[in-house]
Amino acid sequence: MNDKTEPLKTKRFSILAVDDERANLNLLRRTFRNEYNLFMAEDGIEGLELLKEHPVDMIITDQRMPRMTGVKLLARSREIVPDAVRVILTAYADVKDIIDAVNQGQIYRYVLKPWSPDELKITVANALNHYALQQENKELISRLQKSLLELRAAQQELLIRERLSTLGRMAGSVIHDLKQPMSNIRSGAALLAKSNLTPTMREEFSGIIMCEVDRLVGMTREILDFTKGEIRLKLEEFTFETLLDEIEQTIKPDCDNAGIEVCRLSQPIGAIRADRERLRRVLLNLMANAREAVPSGGRIQIFAEHHSDHIALSVMDNGVGIPVEILDRLFEPFVSHGKHDGTGLGLAISKSIIEAHRGKISARNLAEGGAAFDITLPLTTNG
């Protein structure tokens, strides 16, 4: 065994001691061999060669040595063991040596010769404890950075999945909402193909198709506006009763076939200024939701009331009601109840339309059973 090394892998830390005086090396060996793996060199060049084979945790070196000073040794050792603790021994306490050692060698401490073995042992122990904490911190930071990168990757994957899921749910909602007008267009086109139609009948079926196409265009525009977060109202003045007449005529045949009664309890409202087509779609959506929630023999009520500065409107049914757990979230996108294919996008759009009119919409369960959707609309809406 080389007399300049101690048995390896038996102690926690390794030290390289460099001094051109054999007596000093022997003193360093006696001081540290029982606690640390020890490597010894008689000059800086030999010390650098040892470092290449045996990276250490600490370097203790004399300053004044032939071929290479201790400062130069410590400076060059940073390329091999950048994190090692560096201690320099010197019998010359001049300012320049100390400044060079700090700036070039990045020393932890300098010790004046002759040194006390006990004091040097304390200095080395403190330095290596500090070194161990630094290494543990570096390892912890490295693990944290790795965990952060993994977390970011997982979040990105989750975000992509959520976007795809949202896209799928929105596509399902759009398809669900478009089915009825597309079915009406198909039926109208099939009827137009018959050869025995009178001009009046042909004009009627053509009007149905054109009306449903306009409805489709309006619905797609509404969805696009909703996804952009903007609702642009097309304000016009119309009589509110005519809108309610149209809603009732649209929904009543289907309700009659299902054995559902449609009741209208309305005070005279008169003319209002609003986006007629958008309000029509809101009311049709509420009526369609009520229709799906009400069993045969049930009832849907439309109630409208005129106040000094606003209209109060309610769509009520005696159906199954709204599950309590989603009542507060009912107008959020993709929150739905009581519909096999619905995703709740219709109610979210309805809310955005009413709020664009500076109104409010809310939902509640009725004490006697069923649910109610309440709307308030100001009588004056600025465009």
In which band, very low, low, confident or very high, does the pLDDT at 96 lie, cut at 50, 70 and 90?
A: low
Average pLDDT over residues 106-127: 82
Contacts (Cβ under 8 Å, ≥6 apart) of 132: 13
Least confident among 1-15, 28-42, 232-246: 1-15
**CA-based nearest residue to 351, from 167, 166, 226:** 226
pLDDT value for 344: 56
pLDDT tens digits along 56-72: 999 999 888 888 988 88
pLDDT value for 127: 84
Which residue in the block uniquely carries the two structure tokens 């993994």? 150
Contact 293, 256 (CB under 8 A): no
pLDDT for 108 beyond 80: no
pLDDT tens digits along 256-294: 888 999 988 877 888 889 999 889 889 988 988 888 888
pLDDT for 47 beyond 90: yes
Residue 112 burial by Cβ neighbours in a 10 Å radius (0-12, 13-18, 19+): exposed
How high is the mean pLDDT of the chain?
82
Distance of alpha carbon 37 from alpha carbon 5, whole angstroms: 8
In which band, very low, low, confident or very high, does the pLDDT at 8 lie, cut at 50, 70 and 90?
A: very low
pLDDT value for 1: 38
Contacts (Cβ under 8 Å, ≥6 apart) of 88: 60, 61, 62, 63, 70, 71, 74, 101, 105, 107, 109, 110, 111
Contact 330, 337 (CB under 8 A): yes
Helix (H) or strand (E) holding 156: helix 117-192
14-115 belongs to CATH 3.40.50.800: no
pLDDT for 317 beyond 90: yes
End-to-end CA distance of the chain: 94
pLDDT value for 94: 56
Average pLDDT over residues 358-368: 93
Boundaries of every domain in the chain: 14-115, 151-228, 236-378
Average pLDDT over residues 157-163: 74
pLDDT for 343 beyond 50: no
CATH class assigned to 151-228 = mainly alpha
**Residue 217 vs residue 358, higher pLDDT:** 358
Average pLDDT over residues 222-244: 80
Average pLDDT over residues 346-366: 90
The pair of structure tokens assigned to 132 is 């161990």
Least confident among 279-283, 339-343, 355-359: 339-343
Least confident among 23-32, 280-289, 337-346: 337-346
The pair of structure tokens assigned to 169 is 């749910």
Average pLDDT over residues 330-341: 64
pLDDT tens digits along 117-135: 888 888 888 888 888 888 8
In which band, very low, low, confident or very high, does the pLDDT at 200 lie, cut at 50, 70 and 90?
A: confident
CATH superfamily for domain 236-378: Histidine kinase-like ATPase, C-terminal domain (3.30.565.10)
pLDDT value for 313: 93
